[in-house]
Amino acid sequence: MARRLDGKTIVVGLSGGIACYKGAELVRLLVRAGATVRVMMSKGAQHFVTPLTLQTLSGHPVSTDTFNLTQESGIGHIQLADTADAIVIAPATANIIGKIAAGIADDLLTTVLLAARAPVLIAPSMNVNMYENPIVQANLQRLRDAGFHIIDPGEGFLACGWEGKGRLAEPDVILAEIERAVTPQDLRGERVLVTAGPNREPIDPVRFISNRSTGKMGFALAAAAWRRGADVRLIAGPTMLPTPHGVVRHDVTTAAEMHAAVLAECDAATIVLMAAAVADYRPVQTAPQKLKKGSGRLTLEMDRTVDILADVAPRKGARLIVGFAAETQQLIANAERKLIEKDLDLIVANDVAAAATGFEVDTNAVTIIDRSGHHESVPLMSKDEVADRILDRVVALKQQRSSLPRAATKARSA
């Protein structure tokens, strides 16, 4: 299956700080994501981790010196800049941040950056007092103004003994930022609302009714939308999945809580992706204490939960709404009926009875259906890839609408 950084060349620069050990982990993650990784190191960085370590992890020679006859036989610093799809400096010390901001090119890293045309990401790492120094902050702002991507450091205990902001961002966070930097920003300016996961409808303080949804498809959609430039709000039912980087998450439990959260966020959204497996029924009464086992049968009286999509439809306006149909039979017929009944723009249908496309797996195969009756079959692939295929259709539909005459657009959204 395809990986997000397949075919991309990422240049990783390490400057001299204790967080260089995280730079080694970043290189490993980039290689695993499919990237060709070229590493360059300052002299200071080589005191913390050896070039051999980075060469072993990247599978390529490490560049260390602008004046090395072997490394520069083909003007290596220009080749590094020209072949990069993105360049990341991690860790970036106060010293190298200052030099980049001043346009100084007195070593390999700074020379490559001056020649770069690819996106450049800077991940600061330093003592909290150094980070908060007004000169450092002014340098970072100057880089932002010049188009550099600044990856904010984390907070916590620092190697110097101080506690505060200045820790190098975690490698998975830096990886996510790199993926966004090399992804077309075709959702920039959009506010995307995603629902994901199951609901739990309580029977008593101990037991509940739920389903097998893990939220993986919805979380993949939220992550993909953020990578493509969107401002993303994720409303998640009970799940152990970590929040995708850059996404604002709201946790809910019951269908009623999800309904309230969706209505609170819906008006600000331009795209709504309703991927949650919302509970259809709930117990009419919730016992205040744990129900004890008796000698006979237990009968639960159930009531319909609120229909979230039915309440979203009257608020539709110009926003685009995508529904999901998880079916075990009559997949297309059931999906097409839901598409019309709920006044959706697209519906994504998948057979959850199949082993590779159901719940609790990392793969999916879906059929995307629009209001014209067009069916797009997406074959078995990772849920991350499926998410991008769904968003491709969303972007195409948005572009199609934007090209319509204004009167036609108003009529369509009425």
Catalytic residue among 160, 206, 302, 353: 160
Residue 345, φ and ψ in degrees, nearest 5: -90, -40
Question: Which 3 state secondary structure label does DSSP give 344?
Answer: coil
Q: Is 20 a catalytic residue?
A: no
Rounded to an integer, what distance in angstroms lies between the CA atom of residue 230 and that of residue 38?
Answer: 29
Question: Which 3 state secondary structure label does DSSP give 62?
Answer: coil
Question: Which 3 state secondary structure label does DSSP give 384?
Answer: helix
Rounded to an integer, what distance in angstroms lies between the CA atom of residue 104 and that of residue 12?
Answer: 19
Which residues fall within 8 angstroms of residue 266, CB to CB, at 6 or more apart?
A: 193, 272, 312, 315, 319
Q: Please give the order of strands across the beta sheet that includes 248-251.
A: 248-251, 231-236, 191-196, 271-274, 320-327, 346-351, 363-370, 375-382
The token duo for 231 is 């401002």
- DSSP assignment of 210-271 equals --S--SHHHHHHHHHHHHTT-EEEEEE-S--PPPPTT-EEEE--SHHHHHHHHHHHHTT-SE
Which residues fall within 8 angstroms of residue 141, CB to CB, at 6 or more apart?
A: none
The answer to whether 349 and 331 are in contact (CB under 8 A) is yes
The answer to whether 367 and 335 are in contact (CB under 8 A) is yes
Phi-psi region of 257 (alpha: psi -120 to 50; beta: other; left: phi over 0): alpha
Rounded to an integer, what distance in angstroms lies between the CA atom of residue 253 and that of residue 238?
Answer: 6
The token duo for 243 is 């929040």
Q: Which residues are catalytic?
A: 160
